[in-house]
Amino acid sequence: MKQGVIIGFLGKTQDRFSEYQQPATTREKLEIVSKIDGFDGVEMVYPYENSTPEETMALMKEFDLNFAAINVNIKKEAEWVAGALTRPDKGIRDRAVAMIKKAKDFAKAVGAPHVTCCPLSDGYDLLFQVNYRDSWKYIIETVGEAADYLPEVPLFIEPKYSETRVHCQLDSTAKALLLLKEVGNPNTGITLDFGHSLQSAENPAQSLITIYESGFDAYIHTNDNDTKYDWDLIGASRHFLHYVELMFWAQQCKYDKYFTTDASPRIFNILDFFNRHSEVTIGAYNLAKTLNHQRVLEMMKNEDFNGLMKFVNKNIYRI
């Protein structure tokens, strides 16, 4: 398995109440990635963490790292904090689409496998706030246009239930899949964020299979939370069995992209936090690999529920 990290978490972060850690340059962030056990993948936020493609590639080479993805940010600029892809103002939507296209150009120039976009600011805070009919129509149009551009760089869309909007437009894996079905471009996929999936009251493993069985590609972000809020906790700290089950089904699907860490160290030491995350993620992956997949599938087919419970107790919980 391959592991990487969204490098924004390797510098200063903040919430409404506090600031955490110290600011870091992209070079300093990449140096930290190279020190995390088992990590060599980088998800870089475009356009805020990169310089020119040439300079960026030189830095990646210096630390012997690879791109997991380019993450295009269409929520930070002042005109997008209230939404980007679904806004009534066509100029605002067009500039968001243009940013995704520029991210695709950058991804192609540096050899990144795909662009991922989480349209967090699109949605609503209040009822009677947005025209749902227009919002849905606009997001199909805007994502469709962005997907059509430079099809050799696939566009992955990441759903999330809440934050920064109280209710995000793409509030579940199913809603994002419906969008991709409407868009109808084969060069698209879903970024399945373990914690986002939990917050949407999903089971991440089932969502992964739903993505693949719907005919789309999948890219995985790892973390954990308490299901109420996207806390970006260290992987498997709250949902160990869900984590192992996701690994089991990722192996069933022959998933070979990066498992990219979308977790925030906040009050913990950065290097320790990501080393523990790496350890538990590779541990869960290897544990899933030791399971007799054929036997599990056969027990499911035969509805041997008692056998499955026993199998989980013995082979996963080891009790």
Binding site for Mn ion (CB under 5 A): 193, 221, 262
Phi and psi at 84, nearest 5°, equal -135, -60
Q: Alpha-carbon distance 119 to 145, whole Å?
A: 15
DSSP at 259: E
CB of 137 to Mn ion, least distance (A): 26
CB of 158 to Mn ion, least distance (A): 6
Do 242 and 204 meet the contact criterion of CB atoms below 8 Å apart?
A: yes
Residue with tokens 């050799």: 152
- Which of residues 50 and 225 has its CB atom nearest to Mn ion in the complex? 225
Q: Is the dihedral of CA 75, 81, 83, 89 positive or negative?
A: negative
- Which of residues 106 and 219 has its CB atom nearest to Mn ion in the complex? 219
In sequence order, which ranges of the chain are alpha helices (DSSP H)? Answer: 26-35, 53-62, 90-110, 132-148, 173-183, 194-199, 204-213, 240-252, 270-290, 293-301, 305-315
CB of 65 to Mn ion, least distance (A): 19
CB of 74 to Mn ion, least distance (A): 15
Do 152 and 107 meet the contact criterion of CB atoms below 8 Å apart?
A: no
Do 85 and 119 meet the contact criterion of CB atoms below 8 Å apart?
A: yes
CB of 233 to Mn ion, least distance (A): 13
| Other residues' Cβ atoms within 10 Å of the Cβ of residue 126 | 8
Residue with tokens 């806004």: 87
CB of 198 to Mn ion, least distance (A): 12
- Which of residues 86 and 222 has its CB atom nearest to Mn ion in the complex? 222
| Other residues' Cβ atoms within 10 Å of the Cβ of residue 1 | 18
How far from 162 is each of 9, 117, 156, CA to CA, in Å?
A: 20, 15, 19
CB of 304 to Mn ion, least distance (A): 36
- Which of residues 145 and 262 has its CB atom nearest to Mn ion in the complex? 262
DSSP at 234: P
- Which of residues 210 and 223 has its CB atom nearest to Mn ion in the complex? 223
- Which of residues 45 and 98 has its CB atom nearest to Mn ion in the complex? 45
Q: Alpha-carbon distance 271 to 22, whole Å?
A: 13
- Which of residues 14 and 52 has its CB atom nearest to Mn ion in the complex? 14
- Which of residues 69 and 130 has its CB atom nearest to Mn ion in the complex? 69
